Amino acid sequence: MLTLEHLTKTFKSGKGIRDVSFSVRRGEVFGFLGPNGAGKSTTIRHIMGFMKPDRGRAILNGMDTWKRQGEVQSGVGYLPGEIAFIEGMTGREFLEFLSGMQRVRDRERRERLIERLQFDADTPIRKMSKGMKQKVGIVAAFMHDPEVVILDEPTSGLDPLMQKAFVELVLEEKARGKTLLMSSHSFPEIERTCDRAAIIKDGAIVTIADIHELQRMQRKLFEVTFDTADEAAAFAASGLSVEWMDGNRVRVAVKGDYGRFAEETSKRRVRNIDLFTQNLEDIFMDYYDRKGAGA
Ligand SMILES: Nc1ncnc2c1ncn2[C@@H]1O[C@H](COP(=O)(O)OP(=O)(O)OP(=O)(O)O)[C@@H](O)[C@H]1O
């Protein structure tokens, strides 16, 4: 469906992307993860045919995206990292304008999306908050019901409730057989929606991983507070991987084997459990450790 072959672009500053290659299958939700400045937007701009690569190419539905940018751009749903709005329009007027360009007659899907994302589309865009503008952008990306949707940091500016609504939308579109690529710097967001993800750092792909495999690899830290220090000591001596303990509190690292953790916890009186998830960097460090260990 979408293939990137050795995509390379070097800006005058020396920054850019280097030899970026990966493929997204039809019907897949593919995550594109990386810290700020890693090259996510630059790669996405190439996928959309906005930039000419120095080397390599992006192929979408058999089309070279730079050479056939018009066809590519009209057939794909796209949410840019920063949306360029037209001054003086309301959200609905802007969407109407885009619908006209896309020659979309069916307004129903658009209205349903607006309802779902819960915003007043008749507010002038210049008066909209960052989150509201982001919602307008999301509606614009999905309203013409495209087969392929490319989203550059779609949840930036959305509150947790709306992030959830967005995740539900993505999962529904996936169930309808659509192909999605979305960039993010947040692993949990990608984790909820994607099958696979490419990780980019300093302009180069570090790895392409199966999300479910990464989830299994993820080390989670649980801090359990017991009723008594004796219970905490017995829990700590039960063979779990103890990171730290203090009085009646024990922090253990659990990787995959949640059953053992649950079993040892349930034997004792627990006052509280806090969960600390790893950040992206740690997850990948663990991933590499395992790869390095040949597991
Ligand atoms: N048009 C440009 N001209 C010069 N340098 C650029 C241009 N676009 C991006 N860069 C540089 O290339 C690098 C990658 O930027 P890019 O915007 O692709 O990163 P990103 O992963 O999308 O980051 P973020 O998460 O912050 O949006 C950065 O160092 C950036 O400053």
pLDDT per residue as tens digits for the range 135-176 = 999 999 999 999 999 999 999 889 989 999 999 999 999 999
Is residue 242 situated within a structural domain? Answer: yes
The answer on 130 and 38 residing in a single domain is: yes
Judge if 47 and 175 occupy the same domain: yes
Nearest CA to ligand 1 atom 7: 11
Q: Are residues 83 and 133 in the same domain?
A: yes
At how many degrees (to 10) do helices 130-142 and 108-117 cross? 150
Whether 40 lines ligand 1, by a CB cut-off of 6 Å, is yes
In a domain, 173, yes or no: yes
Q: Considering the domain boundaries, does residue 214 fall inside one?
A: no
CA–CA separation, 40 vs 228, rounded Å? 49
131 and 240 belong to one structural domain: no
The reply to whether 25 and 170 lie within a common domain is yes
* Structural domain contains residue 295: no
- Report which ligand 1 atom has the smallest distance to the Cα of 43: 18
Say whether 129 sits in a helix, a strand or coil. coil
- Going from the C-alpha of 295 to that of each of 188, 219, 286, the distances in angstroms are 24, 16, 12
Looking at the structure, do residues 195 and 115 belong to the same domain, yes or no?
A: yes
CATH number of 266's domain: 3.30.70.790
Smallest CA-to-CA distance from 189 within 218, 216, 211 is with: 211
Average pLDDT in the 191-198 region? 90
Cα 171 from chain centre: 12
Of the three residues 179, 209, 239, the one that is the final residue of a domain is 209
Candidate of 8, 32, 36, 42 to mutate for ligand 1, largest count of ligand atoms within 8 Å of Cβ: 42
CATH number of the domain to which 104 belongs: 3.40.50.300
Q: In this structure, what DSSP letter does residue 77 have?
A: E
Instruction: Specify whether the CB–CB gap between 201 and 38 falls below 8 A.
Output: yes
- In the block, residue with structure tokens 């395992």: 290
Average pLDDT over residues 16-36: 94
Residue 242 in this model has a pLDDT that exceeds 80: yes
Tell me whether residue 178 is in a domain. Answer: yes
The protein residue whose alpha carbon is closest to atom 8 in ligand 1 is 42
Say yes or no: 113 and 258 in one domain. Answer: no
Asked whether residue 13 carries a pLDDT value surpassing 90, the answer given is yes
Residue 287 confidence (pLDDT): 57
Say whether both 12 and 141 belong to one domain. Answer: yes
**Nearby residues of 115 by Cβ (< 8 Å), 6 or more positions away:** none
> How much is the pLDDT for 284?
63
Q: Which of 232, 217, 227 is nearest to 280 (CA)?
A: 217
Asked if the structure places residue 104 within a domain, the reply is yes
Contact by Cβ (8 Å): 138, 113 = yes
Distance 94 CA to ligand 1 centre (A): 27
On whether both 61 and 185 belong to a single domain, the answer is yes
Report if residue 283 sits inside a domain. Answer: no
* Domain enclosing residue 39, as ranges: 2-209
Q: What percent of the chain has pLDDT over 90?
A: 72
Residue 53 has pLDDT above 70, yes or no: yes
* DSSP result, 3-58: EEEEEEEE-TTS-EEEEEEEEE-TT-EEEEE--TTSSHHHHHHHHTTSS--SEEEE
Q: How far is ligand 1, taken at its centre, from the CA of residue 45, in Å?
A: 10
pTM, two decimal places: 0.81
Identify whether residues 159 and 187 lie together within a single domain. Answer: yes
Do 205 and 224 lie in one domain? The reply is no
Predicted pLDDT of residue 281:
60
Of 75, 100, 103, 98, nearest to 85 by C-alpha is 98
| Residue 255 confidence (pLDDT) | 83
Of 178, 209, 240, which closes a domain? 209
Q: Which among 179-188, 205-214, 234-243, 280-289 has the top mean pLDDT?
A: 234-243
User: Mean pLDDT over all residues of the chain?
Assistant: 90
For range 257-272, the mean pLDDT: 94
Domain-located, residue 80 = yes
151 shares its domain with 256: no
Residues 6+ apart with CB under 8 A from 180: 28, 29, 30, 148, 149, 150, 151, 170, 173, 174, 193
Ligand 1 atom index nearest CA of 42: 18
Confidence of residue 220 (pLDDT cuts 50, 70, 90): confident
Q: Which of 82-91, 118-127, 202-211 has the highest mean pLDDT?
A: 118-127
Question: Among the three residues 181, 209, 237, which one is the final residue of a domain in this structure?
Answer: 209
ipTM: 0.95
CA-closest residue to ligand 1 atom 6: 11
Domain count, the chain: 2
Q: What's the pLDDT band for 285 if we cut at 50, 70, 90? A: low
Residue 225: what residue type? T
